[in-house]
Amino acid sequence: MPKPRKIRQRAANRRGERVKILISGGRIQRRIQAIAKQIRRDFPDEPLHLVSVLKGGVFFLTDLARSIAGEVSFDFIAVSSYGKATRSSGQVRLTRDLDSSIEGKTVILVEDILDTGMTLQYLLKLFQQRKPKHLRVAVLLDKPERRVAPVRADYLGFSIPNEFVVGYGLDYAERYRNLPYVGVLSLDSKLAKKAAEK
Ligand code: IMP
Ligand code: MG
């Protein structure tokens, strides 16, 4: 059996793509433990309802849910942006709604990354209309330089520079979500072109 590290390297080298580790799996897990404690301190006696945005936020949600003591439930929502070009215009569309009502619940919206802020701005507005008891935002990563919408996270894993990252839920063309760490993706354009021609 090949060692897991080898499999990972091979996956990362596909089509001239390189992934350089930015935040190790260990650091991510330690930070999540701390965030879980912080959330419980803020809401010591309340059932917490975690809502994650598919698909990127799922890894963060499941690790976070396992680290929070007491009563926790969760649900999922999915959105899509109208293509990259229109992203900054705030065109976010709901593609999958929640299974259950959030009225009167203490809701933590769990996202992989806060980039322009358009997605969270849309979701916060939508959720606020549904009258939760409390509404908070937890994001694993934040790229403050890219912010367009005035959204801030109540709970934050790591602030990162303006680079395209993959792993721990984050994808490039649906790949790399399964990496246990977060890495910066770089493309060797010549190699990537060659692979695409094959
Ligand atoms: P926002 O609406 O611009 O804040 O976009 C947030 C969404 O864009 C995230 O949920 C990701 O799906 C995606 N995204 C933003 N930055 C990255 C990145 O560096 N790598 C992968 N996906 C990203
Ligand atoms: Mg996402």
Whether 170 contacts 185, CB under 8 Å: no
CB 170 within 8 A of CB 184: no
- Residue of 97, 115, 154, 188 with catalytic role: 115
How far, in Å, from the CA of 157 to the mean position of ligand 1?
15
pTM of the model: 0.88
Residue with tokens 């299974």: 99
- pLDDT tens for 94-116 read 999 999 999 999 999 999 999 99
- Amino acid found at 1: M
What are the C-alpha distances in Å from 146 to residues 159, 162, 164, 170? 12, 7, 11, 17
Residue 17 has pLDDT above 60, yes or no: yes
Of how many residues is the chain composed? 198
Q: How far apart are CA 28 and CA 140, in angstroms?
A: 8
The closest ligand to the CA of 56 turns out to be: 2
Ligand nearest to the CA of 142: 1
Tens-digit pLDDT profile for residues 57-98: 999 999 999 999 999 999 999 998 765 544 455 688 999 999
With a Cβ cut-off of 6 Å, ligand 1 is lined by: 56, 111-119, 164-166, 170
